Amino acid sequence: MGLLEDVMSMASGSLSSGGVPPAQHATGLAAILEYVNSPQVGGVAGLQKMFQQGGLGNVISSWVGQGQNMPISADQLQNVLHSGAFQQVAQKAGIDPTQLTGMMASVLPHLVDKLTPNGEVPNASTLQSMLKGLTGSASA
């Protein structure tokens, strides 16, 4: 099972209970990946910085680390997101930003966990390669 399938299977229960139609799961994941990889965010390292500045450094550290992933609510997530980039990605994907935030709250812990094997944040070129493979799979 590939990275995309791992993340989707881990998050699918949360997405379904959040009222997200299964057809939007892949679209939402592609939008989340695009957001994380956007210049405004700067990948996992950029997310770490955003979370630390928003007072949630311990949450993202749990996702990067090898222990239990701490949950995050959509409200907490909205407080740390780069809203301009997030709005653009949601609009491009055709998903309501509130719904995408809910999806992100379910998916992001699993995604960051999978993108940081052995508790190490990938450098920009490694992350770019990983995300290119994922986004190509998500749109297929």
* Pick among 3.40.50.300, 2.102.10.10, 1.10.10.690, 3.40.50.2300: CATH of 3-16+23-138: 1.10.10.690
pLDDT of residue 71: 95
Q: What letter would DSSP give residue 38?
A: S
pLDDT of residue 37: 85
Rounded CA separation 99/45 (Å): 25
**24-79: pLDDT as tens digits:** 777 888 888 889 888 899 889 999 999 999 999 999 999 998 889 999 999 999 99
Rounded CA separation 79/50 (Å): 9
pLDDT of residue 11: 55
pLDDT of 103 > 70? The answer is: yes
Terminal-to-terminal C-alpha distance of the chain: 16
Domain ranges for the chain: 3-16+23-138
